[in-house]
Structure 1
Amino acid sequence: MSNYFFDAIVRTDMGKGASRRLRHEGNIPAIVYGNHKEAVSLVLNHNEVLKRFRHADIYTSIIDLVVDGKKEPVILRDVQRHPYKPIITHLDFMRVNANEAIVVDVPVELLNEEKSVGVVNGGIVTLHEATLAVSCLPKDLPSVIQLDIANLAVGEHIMISDIPAIAGVEFVNIMNEEEMNDQPVVAIVEPRVEVVADEEEAEAEVEAAAEEATEDKE
């Protein structure tokens, strides 16, 4: 797990107009909540934040949020962006407790995809779940879930229950954390075959019929 940190100050001016001014000045409005404490509105420097987002695992890492000199561990819960500009417009942080489990969506990374038995034999990889929800203590949070599909053949799949155990980590159903419904994560399927020959024959028949109709009229 990578170590990231954000410097922030407590926000004092609120409202949409104040948020626009903050963004115009190169800052980002944000909020931190959780761990049985009150929510606090924050201000962060946009350019400093953007540097951290060059790394994909920022979304699944424990971050040190330094607010007015005081540090506390958090995770990202929401990132709002400008619809077409490379600008972050708002951040949500959630405080974490070292002794309390957190639920996080962790990205799935496929290994040996091009070398897999199924792909070599013409199959197509279908990723059903790009992320998987896990429950774990902050120290055990994985940045990515790697699945080696080298031996996966056409017609085969990997279910959540097939994933090797990760120490301290449990897969959960976000809608109902008490029940985990097993489901396929990745599969290799047969490619769809387009019947080009049949289409060409049909077109030829239509053209022939049109020519006969023209000859009859003549």
Structure 2
Amino acid sequence: MSETKVLKAEARTRVGKGSSRELRRNGLIPAVIYGDKQAPLSIAVSYKDIYYSIHGGGFKTTVITVELDGKKIQVLPKDYQLDPVRDFPQHVDFLRVSAKSIVEVNVPVQFINEEKAPGLKRGGLLNVVRHEVELVAPANAIPDAIVVDLEGLDIGATVHISSVKLPKGVTPVIQDRDFTVATIAAPGGGVKDEAEGEAEAE
């Protein structure tokens, strides 16, 4: 789990495009905190802090402490909007969480020991079916990544979610099938891509 970050915020009394443009001119962007059966809070946060958090990776799996009017609010980034041309953040949605909250979150997949996979040594190709996996996890124990160990895997091998070790209390959102995370395909695609069928089914 990533270390909890602190983000200073100020309340927004005005909403709308004009207000948002004014915030951006002052180095801020609009954001909303919602959830936990409480009324949404309209806030403004530092553009610079959000920009580096988004482009630094792990933004949507990191619990953030928002400091607002002397109060501390635990949140999880759920969505954000970027400028379609310049990739600048324009708005952020935060979900209010607590230590007991259970959340659904997309977690990136990380592959290790590629150099110890016989199939890759013999020219096989790592076919990544899922770059992220949607998990159900405690808000205070979201993994930074799902680690897939490729050691010993040969051409034709398939990595299913059941073979991936997940932290205690963390489960896949998809429970009705043992879905594929990756395969090691023969050079030139000699092994049928199981992902194609899964993608069509979804």
Is residue 189 from structure 1 mapped to residue 190 from structure 2 by the alignment? no
The answer for unaligned runs of 5 or more in structure 1 is: 174-178, 194-218
Contact 1:171 1:180 in 2 (8 A): no
Match of 2:66 in 1: 65
Query: C-alpha deviations, 1:45-83, integer Å up to 9, x for none?
Result: 211322333531232111111122211111110021112
Give the aligned residue type for 1:83. Answer: P
Aligned residues: 188
Match of 1:10 in 2: 11
**5 Å matches for 1:6-85?**
6-85=7-86
TM-score, length-normalised on structure 1? 0.81
Distance 1:24 1:72 in 2: 26
Contact kept in structure 2, 1:172 and 1:180, CA below 8 Å: no
Quick one: which amino acid aligns to residue 78 of structure 1? Answer: D
After superposition, the CA RMSD in angstroms is 1.6
After the TM superposition, which residues 24-173 of structure 1 pair with which residues of structure 2 at under 5 Å, given as runs? 24-173=25-174
Deviates more, 1:157-166 or 1:124-133: 157-166
Secondary structure of the 1:90 match is strand
Q: Distance in 1 between matches of 2:61 and 2:188?
A: 36
Query: Which contiguous aligned blocks of 4+ residues in structure 1 show a shift greater than 6 angstroms?
Result: none
Q: Which runs of 5+ in 2 are unaligned?
A: 190-202
TM-score, structure 2 normalization? 0.87
Give the structure with the higher percent strand. 2
C-alpha change, 1:96 and 1:110, in structure 2 (3 Å) is same
8 Å Cα contact 2:32-2:92 kept in structure 1: yes
Q: Give the aligned residue type for 1:68.
A: D
Q: In the TM superposition, what is the alpha-carbon distance from 1:34 to its structure 2 partner?
A: 0.5
Distance across 1 between alignment mates of 2:136 and 2:80: 21
